[in-house]
Amino acid sequence: MSATPSPRALRTRRALAALRRAAASAGKDGGGKVYAYAGAPVHAMGLAFPGPLGLAAGFDRFGLLARTAPRLGLGAVEAGTFFGGSAGELAVLGSGTARHGSNAAIRGVSIGKRPATPWSRAEDDFLDALFAFHRGADYLTLNPGRDHPRPERFAIVLREVVRARDALGGRRDRRIPLVAKLPFAWTAGPEGVAIATAFVAAGADGLLLSAEGAACPRHAREILRRIATALGREACIVSVGGIDGAREARARMDAGAHLIQVHRGAAAGGARFTRALALELSLRRFGERP
């Protein structure tokens, strides 16, 4: 974390504090049984997400909301991004088991390479993070970051992490699912479907398709639909970026996403925003592909 947080990081921090207060008061009012999402859980990657709406990485870095997030309509919280693994981060994330009980949200942890590490040696950082966080997470997302390499290079990193994850074997009672975050620049071009398919072939259990940088929501949905159609149910498709309201949330699900994530909308609109989306998604019938 930088010494002087940017205005956008400060807004996220304030929004997280407000969401935590909203979740805590919902717990008091409802005796801990207030859920803003009333639809079916989403079964994906061997996990049961209490709902399809998640909080994107960078919002709740330490996953502090994971226990109470369902009161805000959230089925998942993606902590991180963590670069490698540090003692402080482990103290928070490693302290609990991944699952806090059946009422908790799914806790993802986003992992990346340290900024100073060149991509030619990125595997080491991702493996450090895998070993540091696999016990404290329900799934891990590999984040290529802002200085992302070519997709081919990132797929090689993913293969290494998959191999190491599989070798963890007996140390966990199940294989931790791995999600690859794919920048819009990779999926929006003519090779988009081939690139997405290659990440699944490399072992990704899920793809987090970022629409950040899309010219308009329609373009984002078009790319999402193309990839979801090609992959069918081979991988869990998560859509993030530009989901600014209930309508867009529903449209992403209709375009083939199994799960969606929000960041800036939740930073601006707080619990009112997340609950409005959850309500909309509750009304949608799951298991039905348009």
Ligand X SMILES: Cc1cc2nc3c(=O)[nH]c(=O)nc-3n(C[C@H](O)[C@H](O)[C@H](O)COP(=O)(O)O)c2cc1C
> Between 32 and 149, whose beta carbon lies closer to ligand X?
149
Q: Would you say 242 and 18 are in contact if contact means Cβ atoms under 8 Å apart?
A: no
Binds ligand X (CB under 6 A): choice among 242, 258, 274, 280? 242
Show the binding pattern over residues 176-215: x = contacts ligand X (CB under 6 A), - = does not: -----x----------------------------x-x---
Map tokens 């994330």 to a residue.
93
Closest C-alpha to 192, from 231, 161, 147, 157? 231
- Using CB under 6 A as the binding rule, whether residue 243 contacts ligand X is answered as yes
The residue count for binding ligand X (CB under 6 A) is 21
Compute CA distances 14 → 86, 184, 277, 288, whole Å: 24, 28, 21, 37
Stretch that binds ligand X, among 94-102, 163-171, 225-233, 263-271 (CB under 6 A): 263-271
- The smaller minimum CB distance to ligand X, of residues 28 and 148, is found at 148
Any residues with CB less than 8 A from the CB of 131 and at least 6 apart, and which? Answer: 85, 164
Q: Element (H or E) spanning 220, and its range?
A: helix 217-231
Instruction: Classify strands 47-49 and 42-44 as parallel, antiparallel or unpaired.
Output: antiparallel
Is there a contact between 161 and 127 (Cβ–Cβ < 8 Å)? yes
- State yes or no: residue 277 binds ligand X (CB under 6 A): no
Mask for 50-79, x = binds ligand X (CB under 6 A): ------xxx---------------------
3-state DSSP assignment of residue 109:
strand
| Residue (32 or 115) nearer to ligand X, CB | 115
Nearer CB in complex with ligand X: 63/265:
265
| Count of Cβ atoms closer than 10 Å to residue 134 Cβ | 22
Give the footprint of ligand X on this chain (CB under 6 A): 8-9, 12, 56-58, 80-81, 110, 143, 181, 210, 212, 240-243, 262-265
